[in-house]
Chain A
């Protein structure tokens, strides 16, 4: 991804952002509220259209594609706030995630093996689940597409710490088989614990970049808040 500018209405949210990701890598993006993290993910997913060359995926320009076309290429998003389809049951939410029809290890059975509770609740309305269970559905729904790159937007937001721990415990099993991931997170320590590299965004620009285990706390907080 090179020189990404993204706009949110008339408001420019990202300024010439350059970042890249290798196959199979887990990248963490951290930054304060309004730093442009969600805009970044929405741009990659195709919900915000851009110049074709602004985003390249496996060598081809995808910046100007529609979200459904991007999905077909193997990029899936677990959106902030889960955003399940309230009119669809748990299982229907998962099935619709598999609509793009890409081949791979993930299927209804595989998702149910990962989150057994969902199998019990498969015919319930997605709105009747707890927040943690809804997050499982949202993750399962993205996995059903068998993506090459999965984008997680604030998956710990609004969940109890114990649920967050469970979900993060499941993450390595999810992204283990060569799937790349970009993790947007406000919980810095969680983000660092599962990622190999980290970018810190501040007001739409990259303020810090490095290997997750090498970054110093104080460097992060400087890059995060923009204070010395």
Chain B
């Protein structure tokens, strides 16, 4: 039962990791940009949620209404104001600029909120659970997983069923020709980053309700998201969810063996998959 429990809890944890990963996957798909500050932006969203929730006395889940558009707007401005200038054949500028951004966000948060761990108060939601024949499922992890599935289904729909998604795919395929079709790629990239940070906002809020957080944990969240993307296979959103689940299960099973092994087990499973399936478990089939 312990093992079953570890696997179920790990699967649910994987939902959170998929939320970390989805935004990363999205912008890589559209503009081949890897945002090193992604994890720090998740933490930023958590703090934004915390402050809004305290200031307005609102439930942390309700502040999504404010944090999601705020992060999306920030994403658009960030992309058009800074990141678009870094895109090109050379991979160095986007990497180093987002790396600098990561340090800035982290230290700005440190300046404002100090290094003390904080947590969002979601009342009864945090402890509520349902008993399923000896298996205890927390309502919050189940909700997180459901939201992750919803977010990925939503992104999938946007990508393959809407004009915006067509624009994303067209620009991703061939920037010049997309431009000739009247698509302003700077704007399309801005929208992609806005969408990415909207997902980051959701991820940050659920992170902040689930565990305590401090300004230094962004790097770790980036790594989890990145591992989920690579395990699942680049460019495959459902694969990213599967990657998150595999990572989550590896961690909880590792922790069940020895608490010190939680993170290490996750990394080792990632490296193992990288060794045997370098393109991930479910690489996108083109065509």
Instruction: Using CB atoms and an 8 Å cutoff, list the residues of chain A in contact with chain B.
Output: 45-47, 66-68, 70-72, 76-77, 79, 83, 85-88, 92, 95-97, 99-100, 125, 127-128, 141, 145
Contact = CB atoms under 8 A, between A and B. Distances in A.
**Range for the number of chain B residues in contact with chain A:** 20 to 34
B166 A88 contact: yes
B184 A127 contact: no
Interface string B249-287: 000000000000000000000000000000000000011
A46 B180 CA distance: 8
- Which one of B174, B176, B181 has the highest number of Cβ atoms from chain A below 10 Å of its Cβ? B181
A82 B185 CA distance: 20
Contact of B287 (A68, A96, A127): A127
A70 B61 CA distance: 45
B105 to A, nearest CB: 31
- 6 tightest Cβ-Cβ pairs between the two chains A and B: A100-B182, A67-B179, A71-B182, A87-B169, A85-B173, A68-B184
A100 B170 CA distance: 14
Contacts of B286: 86-87, 127
B168 to A, nearest CB: 9
Contacts of B166: 88, 92, 95-96
B167 interface: yes
A88 B182 contact: no
A125 B285 CA distance: 12
B178 interface: yes
B181 A99 contact: yes
B261 to A, nearest CB: 41
A67 B170 contact: no
5 contacts: A68-B181, A87-B169, A96-B183, A125-B287, A145-B182
B180 A88 contact: no
B279 to A, nearest CB: 18
A83 B174 CA distance: 8
Contact of A66 (B172, B174, B179): B179
A195 B211 CA distance: 71
A46 B181 CA distance: 11
B184 A47 contact: no
B108 interface: no
Given A86-B173, A87-B172, A88-B166, A66 B287 contact: no
Given A70-B180, A88-B166, 10 more contacts: A45-B180, A67-B179, A77-B180, A83-B177, A85-B169, A87-B173, A92-B169, A96-B170, A96-B183, A99-B167
Nearest to A71: B182
Given A87-B169, A96-B170, A125-B287, A47 B182 contact: no
A76 B170 CA distance: 16
A96 B172 CA distance: 14
A167 to B, nearest CB: 19
Contacts of B182: 68, 71-72, 99-100, 145
Contacts of A145: 181-182
Contact of A99 (B173, B183, B287): B183
A47 B287 contact: no
Contacts of A67: 176, 179-180
Contacts of A72: 182
Contacts of A46: 179-180
Contacts of B180: 45-47, 67-68, 70-71, 76-77, 79
A88 B170 contact: yes
A11 B174 CA distance: 23
Nearest to B177: A83
B173 A88 contact: yes
